[in-house]
Amino acid sequence: MDRLINRRDIDFLLYEVLSIETLTQRERYAEHDRETFDAVINAAQKLAIDHFEPHAAELDANEPTLENGKVSIIPAVKEALSAFSEGGFMGAAMDFEHGGMQLPWVVVQACNAYFNAANLSTMAYPFITVAATNVLAAFGSAEQKARYLRPMVEGKFFGTMALSEPQAGSSLSDIRTKATPTSDGHYLITGNKMWISAAEHDLSENIVHLVLTKIPGGPPGVKGISLMLVPKYRLNEDGRSGEFNNVSCVGVNHKMGYRGTVNTVLNFGEAGECRGYLVGQVHHGLSYMFQMMNEARVGVGLGGAALGYTGYLHSLEYARQRPQGRHPHDKDPMSEQVPIVEHADIKRLLLAQKAAAEGAMALVLYCSTLLDLQRTESDPAELTRLSLLLDLLTPIVKSWPGEYCLEANKHAIQILGGAGYTKDYPVERFYRDNRLNPIHEGAHGIHGIDLLGRKVTMGEGAAFRAFILEIEKTIAQARPIELLDEYAELLEEILRELESTTEELIKIRDIGEVTLFLANASIYLDTFGHVTIAWMWLKQSIEAARRLSDASPDDRAFYQGKLRACQYFYRYELNKVPERLALLSSSDDTCLGMQDSWF
């Protein structure tokens, strides 16, 4: 039995629900076929089991340590990441021309699901490096690509994304790190960054920091942010890492989870000259970073989904093996105890996890497919539609898994009971690790404001309409299927309510009450997410229902499970939505009107 991610489900999502083989008809992916995809996913699964999972508990118990500015990490991490780089995974989605495998992002995410489930902390190092390579590939100069990007794709250099500062976390417009131009073409970097993951370690020859800075004299706020490439070691002419560039790690954070991923306080240029190299144009830094954010945020969603998923499978395994108690109608204390998977409440906790984890995974892979389509689309109208859809879904795919797969991890602990609360099993670690996801890469509340304040309303609602249209297509496909009629009906109703609630909210904005308009944006985000996941369950159920009658016994059970999880989501979760929408429509100001002195 799979304990990381159910491979049958990955195949179902990729090939039956998302039909990703059709991507190979596009020029970018023309050299691939399903066989390559499967081989890569197989390799990832094996690597995750052999090299990532075994040291996960050890790494959690032995977080990286800082001594004299140097961070040490248990050796197993470097070994795992060497195997990862050798397997080509650091450049799995990168263009051939930069040394990558040019695989579709959705295939890479299926691979990453295994790595994340096996060991989220170790996987964070390549996750951040890959994000940095994507920025450089898109916006770096030819020289930057040759000197920095190539060794990163090879896994010789690692990367970071250095955005936050002590006084500027959610509010990036307030960053202060300074980039002062010199006559030699480079900039001198001074200042501090905080919460920077993977920014000091002994895992790679060099670390390439992508740093948000302000060039003196530029415009205030986000319009004056420039992106700098700042290596830990300056490169010699021959491309080898040379002199220390005065990027100093002056502190590490001790965290409740994600403990294997070092999280640092950085100082630039205090002890000596720190050179930075402009990426792209001055003052465009934030937009470069945000153009790459969609991928990073899908990646955060994947982390949440993968943790929820493996927690589900671990608790399922336990529930099947652990005898405890008897059925309610059995009053004979001499009878055998039954495995707890037979108890209704345990089934409920398992179904809740299955619905959350598989629903989240479906959304992550759907959004990844959108990224692949967007990247390779030539028709301008379709490109616009894909981009709108993806922009709208980004706050959802970033946020929903971190919120509801955390809840799933809570259930996994509950199934294991006292055992789940101990370090003898990994479920408590999954729960601790997953708690970060609503915080980093934009806090939960920020995404609520992004969704309602920007995405839903942009282009006079163009993205929102594209979203509604997509769901309506799915509803239309589901309607003729008798098994799914109940769900199609309910989703249709709720979609209408979501539309009218959104209209009500926009009216509040239109009369200038922007603060009230956004006051409950987090609830809007969660509710919108529930509708989105319900859509994902209907998409899956259509394929399951269609295949049910001709399926093998194993597949039949698999499809029945999909249909039951869909039923669970509609009857136990989606039905919470109307009340939330009613609350939102009422523009309630209970929270907004609360006074500081009343707390």
Site for a copy of itself (CB under 8 A): which residue of 470, 578, 585, 587?
Answer: 578
Report the alpha-carbon distance of residue 260 to residue 60 in Å, rounded: 6
Q: Does 418 bind a copy of itself (CB under 8 A)?
A: yes
Site for a copy of itself (CB under 8 A): which residue of 55, 297, 343, 530?
Answer: 343
Site for a copy of itself (CB under 8 A): which residue of 351, 356, 408, 490?
Answer: 351
Residues sharing a CB contact under 8 Å with residue 271, sequence separation 6 or more, in sequence order: 246, 248
Q: Minimum CB separation from a copy of itself for residue 351, in Å?
A: 6
Strands 187-197 and 275-278: antiparallel
Segment 460 to 519, residues that bind a copy of itself, using CB under 8 A? 514-515, 517-519
Report the alpha-carbon distance of residue 573 to residue 566 in Å, rounded: 10
Q: Is 561 helix (H, G, I), strand (E, B) or coil?
A: helix
Size of the site for a copy of itself (CB under 8 A): 102
Report the alpha-carbon distance of residue 247 to residue 207 in Å, rounded: 10
Q: Which is nearer to a copy of itself, 280 or 453 (CB)?
A: 453
Q: Which is nearer to a copy of itself, 32 or 580 (CB)?
A: 580
Segment 107 to 166, residues that bind a copy of itself, using CB under 8 A? 164
Q: Does 254 bind a copy of itself (CB under 8 A)?
A: yes
Q: Does 185 bind a copy of itself (CB under 8 A)?
A: no
Residues sharing a CB contact under 8 Å with residue 325, sequence separation 6 or more, in sequence order: 337, 338, 340, 343
Report the alpha-carbon distance of residue 573 to residue 596 in Å, rounded: 34
> What is the enclosing helix (H) or strand (E) of 210?
strand 206-214
Residue 534 near residue 556, CB atoms below 8 Å: no
Q: Minimum CB separation from a copy of itself for residue 511, in Å?
A: 13
What phi and psi values does residue 595 have, to the nearest 5 degrees? Answer: -100, 145
Q: Which is nearer to a copy of itself, 185 or 553 (CB)?
A: 553
Instruction: Calculate ∠ Cα 187-192-194, nearest 5°.
Output: 130
Q: CA dist 153 to 115, 220, 469, Å?
A: 18, 35, 38
Segment 265 to 324, residues that bind a copy of itself, using CB under 8 A? 316, 320, 323-324
Among 149, 60, 127, CA closest to 430: 60
Q: Which is nearer to a copy of itself, 168 or 188 (CB)?
A: 168
Q: Which is nearer to a copy of itself, 247 or 416 (CB)?
A: 416
Site for a copy of itself (CB under 8 A): which residue of 169, 191, 299, 304?
Answer: 169
Q: Does 347 bind a copy of itself (CB under 8 A)?
A: yes
For residue 228 the two structure tokens come to 């700098």
Site for a copy of itself (CB under 8 A): which residue of 354, 398, 455, 530?
Answer: 354
Stretch that binds a copy of itself, among 94-102, 148-156, 298-306, 559-567 (CB under 8 A): 559-567
> What is the enclosing helix (H) or strand (E) of 123?
helix 120-139
Q: Does 594 bind a copy of itself (CB under 8 A)?
A: yes
Beta bridge partners of 518: none
Q: Classify residue 68 as exposed, middle or buried by CB count within 10 Å of its CB (0-12, 13-18, 19+).
A: exposed
Q: Does 36 bind a copy of itself (CB under 8 A)?
A: no
Residue 280 near residue 292, CB atoms below 8 Å: no
Site for a copy of itself (CB under 8 A): which residue of 62, 141, 287, 414?
Answer: 414
Stretch that binds a copy of itself, among 24-32, 131-139, 368-376, 585-593 (CB under 8 A): 585-593
Report the alpha-carbon distance of residue 402 to residue 406 in Å, rounded: 6
For residue 471 the two structure tokens come to 């769901």
Q: Is 323 helix (H, G, I), strand (E, B) or coil?
A: strand
Helix axes 458-478, 521-548, angle to 10 degrees: 30
Stretch that binds a copy of itself, among 77-85, 102-110, 408-416, 480-488 (CB under 8 A): 408-416
Site for a copy of itself (CB under 8 A): which residue of 167, 182, 236, 281?
Answer: 167
Q: Does 571 bind a copy of itself (CB under 8 A)?
A: yes
Segment 430 to 449, residues that bind a copy of itself, using CB under 8 A? 431-432, 435-436, 438-440, 443-445, 448-449
Q: Minimum CB separation from a copy of itself for residue 457, in Å?
A: 13
Torsion of CA 476, 479, 480, 484, to 10 degrees: 130
Q: Which is nearer to a copy of itself, 156 or 435 (CB)?
A: 435
Q: Minimum CB separation from a copy of itself for residue 453, in Å?
A: 7
Q: Does 257 bind a copy of itself (CB under 8 A)?
A: yes
Q: Which is nearer to a copy of itself, 186 or 432 (CB)?
A: 432
Q: Which is nearer to a copy of itself, 185 or 418 (CB)?
A: 418
Q: Does 65 bind a copy of itself (CB under 8 A)?
A: no
Q: Does 413 bind a copy of itself (CB under 8 A)?
A: yes
> What is the enclosing helix (H) or strand (E) of 299?
helix 285-321
Q: Which is nearer to a copy of itself, 54 or 561 (CB)?
A: 561
Residue 228 near residue 274, CB atoms below 8 Å: no
